[in-house]
Amino acid sequence: MSIHEPAIRCETNEPLADPELTDGFHLLLDALKLNDIDTLFGLPGIPITDFLRTAQAEGMRVITFRHEQNAGNAAAAAGFLTGKPGVCMTVSAPGFLNGLTALANATTNCFPMILISGSSEREIVDLQQGDYEEMDQLAIAKPLCKAAYRILQAKDIGVGIARAIRAAVSGRPGGVYLDLPARLFSQTLPLEVGRQSLINVVDPAPRQFPAPDRVSHALALLKSAKKPLVILGKGAAYARAECEINAFIEKTGIPYLPMSMAKGLLPDTHELSAAAARSYVLQESDVVVLIGVRLNWLLSHGKGKTWAQEKGPKKFIQLDIAPTEIDSNVAIDAPLIGDIVSCMQSLLAGIDNHWQKPPTEWTAAIAERKEKNAKKMAEKLAERPSPMSFQSALSAVKQVVKDNPEAIVVSEGANTLDFARSIVDMYLPRKRLDVGTWGVMGIGMGFAVAASVVTGHQVIAIEGDSAFGFSGMEVETLCRYQLPVCVVVFNNNGIYKGTDINASGGKDPAPTVFVKNACYEMLMEAFGGRGVHVTTVDQLHQAMNEAIALGIPTLINAHIDETAGTESGRITSLNPAKTTRK
């Protein structure tokens, strides 16, 4: 194909004339299949439509979406849940940019993902001659992901896929971009030459053991602690370290605090969980073990009043695969560099039968605060206001999840997310997906689709009405693939609240207000799913149980008091102070 022929010429589903030849389409497919990639997420269009058709024809599962960002979010969630890269395929330029948000978010959250996008030919792009959807996609992607590669020759497809897989899952996982110019798909090679060019990636994420002397130092520091604390992060969940962590907590008797996506590594109902006394343990602890968690904004960077550092610096033991993470905010006294499982096994090996558990004064003080806070929360959950509050509605969700611990919970929103995090207990690992490190909204339906597709389990998506709007059209995707996903929209008529007013007195609604009493359930019904509108806790509980029993796409529009909620949930302090013009 000459450089002046449009990319649309590459869109063909005609079989190869010579059975002794193979082409870029089939080499890409064969390279993915060789490396156990069996599911693709994406949105068809030039030049990838026929590739997706071919992939489906040859036994791969192809899940297509209504927007590339949601397909990318699905690939990222699949990477977290399976431990192998989730793959998203998009068209060039606008499609690539839509997927890029998900790729950047995957990198920030350390989810292994590969974004593969078709692109314009280099000769035209480099001279800026105005090709169809012309864009230097590789240059744009590089700053926003872990690695980015361009494949120009069909014989290099095997190498490109191998490098992408290794980059995505080795060390700290993240997003990888693969740029495939349209011409690549129609390039041909002798069949045997093509086969020999493919690479079966061996041990892409090798175990990394911590240095023995560093393990001894960490254990010595932990032995000296009077008020030790373990904090669990989603890195520990991704590492599948629950057995080792459980053994460590039971053996040492150290209280632990799970971050949101680490909930369920041990049941939230475990006696050593300090989640209900979070503020107290962060302030009062003297030695803190960070397991697969970063001291970023979610933990106040390890500084300030949250940690009561004015009383004196704490000692930190940090387990992380990336040495560059150490000392990123505060001094780390005992870094253990390696994969989480190997680090935990090394720590466990150094704990003998003479290990002294934490003083009872420490564990008793935590238990006392937990009991006090749990009692307050129980009173809130037992209330039955009309319309429902966030707490009363979540009491129904809490019970349904308790009755269905294998279900995967997806959660996003401001108040919806914050309340659900503290109210809904998790019992098993990797059963909770949420907005993660960036706090980005719009992950809901993409994550829900991926969770259902790669696990086969029931999914419960707890959505604020604002957050749902970012990806709500994907309910059609839920219906198209008949996925067992129950979406609960907490509808309080707006962002944060539905009570804001236009300060100018004009006719336009306030910026945070939506259409009052919107019938979100009708959106699901429009595509053949089940829609339910509820106004009471009992109705919500019944509707969720029915959705799970039926196993079909269901959207429950839960009417919440529009005065409930606070600005930005629990991060109101990050809002600029309101000012008055003088």
- pLDDT tens track for 335-388: 999 999 999 999 999 998 889 999 999 999 999 999 999 999 999 999 999 999
Q: Which residues contact 361 (CB under 8 A, 6 or more apart)?
A: none
63-81 pLDDT per residue, tens: 999 999 999 999 999 999 9
> Residue 258 above 60 pLDDT?
yes
In percent, the amount of the chain with pLDDT more than 70 equals: 95
Among the listed ranges 123-127, 211-215, 305-309, which one has the minimum average pLDDT value?
A: 123-127
500-513 pLDDT per residue, tens: 999 999 999 999 99
> Do β-strands 175-181 and 147-150 pair in parallel, antiparallel, or remain unpaired?
parallel
Domain boundaries, the chain: 7-197, 212-367, 383-573
**What was the pLDDT predicted at 9?**
33
Q: Which residues contact 212 (CB under 8 A, 6 or more apart)?
A: 346
**What was the pLDDT predicted at 124?**
85
Distance (Å, whole) CA 369 – CA 275: 10
Tally of CB atoms within 10 A around 522: 12
Residue linked to tokens 């280099």? 122
Answer whether 451's CB lies under 8 Å from 477's CB.
Answer: no
**Element spanning 531, H or E:** strand 530-534
Mean pLDDT over 147-162 rounds to 97
> Residue 199 above 60 pLDDT?
yes
DSSP 580: -
Q: How many Cα atoms sit within 13 Å of 347 on the Cβ side?
A: 32
Q: How many Cα atoms sit within 13 Å of 31 on the Cβ side?
A: 25
Which two tokens mark 209? Answer: 């053991």
**What was the pLDDT predicted at 570?**
66
Task: List, as one string, the DSSP characters of 429-493.
Answer: TT-EEE-TTTT-S--HHHHHHHHHHHH---EEEEEEHHHHHHHGGGHHHHHHTT--EEEEEEE-S
pLDDT, greater one: 327 or 354: 327
Q: Do domains 7-197 and 212-367 have the same CATH topology?
A: yes
Q: Give the CATH architecture of domain 7-197.
A: 3-Layer(aba) Sandwich (3.40)
Distance (Å, whole) CA 398 – CA 422: 10
Q: How many residues does the chain have?
A: 582
Answer whether 575's CB lies under 8 Å from 567's CB.
Answer: yes
Starting at the edge strand that comes first in sequence, how are the strands of the sheet with 256-258 ordered?
256-258, 228-232, 287-291, 315-320, 334-337
Name the average pLDDT for the chain.
93
Which ranges constitute the DSSP H helices of 224-303?
234-238, 242-252, 278-284
Band of residue 8 on the pLDDT scale cut at 50, 70, 90: very low
CA neighbor of 405 nearest in space, from 428, 432, 435: 428
> Residue 309 above 50 pLDDT?
yes
Distance (Å, whole) CA 431 – CA 413: 18
pLDDT, greater one: 309 or 465: 465
Distance (Å, whole) CA 541 – CA 276: 24
CA neighbor of 74 nearest in space, from 53, 95, 105, 46: 105
Extended beta strands in 242-355, E state: 256-258, 287-291, 315-320, 334-337
Which two tokens mark 208? Answer: 């990394």
> Residue 4 above 70 pLDDT?
no
Among the listed ranges 173-182, 220-229, 419-428, 571-580, which one has the minimum average pLDDT value?
A: 571-580
Answer whether 70's CB lies under 8 Å from 450's CB.
Answer: no
CA neighbor of 272 nearest in space, from 229, 227, 336: 229
> Residue 87 above 70 pLDDT?
yes
DSSP 210: P
Q: Is 267 exposed, middle or buried (CB count within 10 Å of its CB: 0-12, 13-18, 19+)? A: middle
Band of residue 311 on the pLDDT scale cut at 50, 70, 90: confident
Distance (Å, whole) CA 165 – CA 86: 10
Tally of CB atoms within 10 A around 495: 23
Residue linked to tokens 């302030």? 283
> Residue 437 above 70 pLDDT?
yes
Answer whether 475's CB lies under 8 Å from 490's CB.
Answer: no
> Residue 237 above 90 pLDDT?
yes
Answer whether 518's CB lies under 8 Å from 547's CB.
Answer: no
**What was the pLDDT predicted at 7?**
35
Band of residue 571 on the pLDDT scale cut at 50, 70, 90: confident
Q: Give the CATH architecture of domain 212-367.
A: 3-Layer(aba) Sandwich (3.40)
Q: In the chain, what's the furthest Cα-to-Cα distance?
A: 79
Q: Which residues contact 401 (CB under 8 A, 6 or more apart)?
A: 407, 409, 424, 425, 426, 460
Which CATH superfamily hosts domain 383-573?
Answer: Thiamin diphosphate (ThDP)-binding fold, Pyr/PP domains (3.40.50.970)
**What was the pLDDT predicted at 359?**
96
At 67, give phi and psi (nearest 5°). -150, 140
Distance (Å, whole) CA 415 – CA 564: 9
